[in-house]
Structure 1
């Protein structure tokens, strides 16, 4: 078996300077001195410390200390009527800054205005759950913990929501391999058959976006299969292949399916 190599610092060890293209930053405009956003920002500054504030794509963005995330959102909800949390998550800056940027997108239903609240947390630093203010934060905070590993204090039920409970690692971190680490490649094999079956079954491929170099050569259509390497144009010139659903002997306790009783849908329902 191939020896496992830790990949914790794979993002910091980029061998090529042009490996990842960095998109230009969206311009940051100053907050107007008058208007709704000016009043919203003043209400927050009256009670909390604002590290940075600007307008980006017509929305107010506020950077705060992570210790004040719950109280800042409480001020926006109770005093400025931002009563809906439409989105929240985190961005991985582990290699660059050693932590995550957690953001909250809140919406004022009366004015159709949006504010994005951001705070930066270190890798092992936790943020306070905003579930008491917004019920939509329940699953979002669980996903943030499951996928990114951002700890959330005082969440009513903080456990994995997408991955199995015994999963190791956080798949949306930039340091997580695209095809999964050793644990991911052998998870179901070990779980179902045991580690002794690894040599028989082989590792799993957990990358649904993987492109095989033979994909364009294995063109087929039900009843009109073509040989490997044949061009797609052959499908209209190939004789129909008889469809056989099952061997004559059948399978124990499984009813034989005949072609007369089957139906091929013209389109998906």
Structure 2
């Protein structure tokens, strides 16, 4: 090949290289690829994906907050539910029965004035220094006081024992209701009713102790009066 022809080939290659170089030069990061006139930006796409992920996380957080609020409302509603089991009427009935037995006290009732009047008439003072007929009548009255008091004590004790079965059934119901309580109010009401049951049992025990103590006190008073009356009779006999 001649020199002029070689030069023409070299010049053509240089021109072709110059024309190709701009086409293969690196494009900016924000516009590297083009498809049908649409420019694809990887950086912008990554930012959009990150923004969408953050938005989704916020939505999930809001859903969890709503669920927690709903759970809290449900728990509050349960805490306001009333206990379906009530032992009030049963306990009131048992207390009333014991009160009725105490109210049936014979001769000397559970009353301060009544006790003072009875002791003045039959157990001390002039009641022990009257004539023979009065002494016999007062002694018989004191004996009837003691017998009536012991009978009253036995009645009260029988009533207290009769309440035990009802108290046991009430306790079983309250314990079951307490264990199945769905909220704070139900648990509190069950606890209050258990305390009421204990109070009723203490009231029965107090009534039984009071009735027995009354009988023993009258028996002791009768014995003391008899001793005083015996001394008076002996004084009169020795004096005569």
TM-score (norm 1): 0.15
TM-score (norm 2): 0.16
1 or 2, which has the higher strand percentage? 1
Higher relative CO (CA 8 A, sep ≥ 6), structure 1 or 2? 2
1 or 2, which has the higher helix percentage? 2
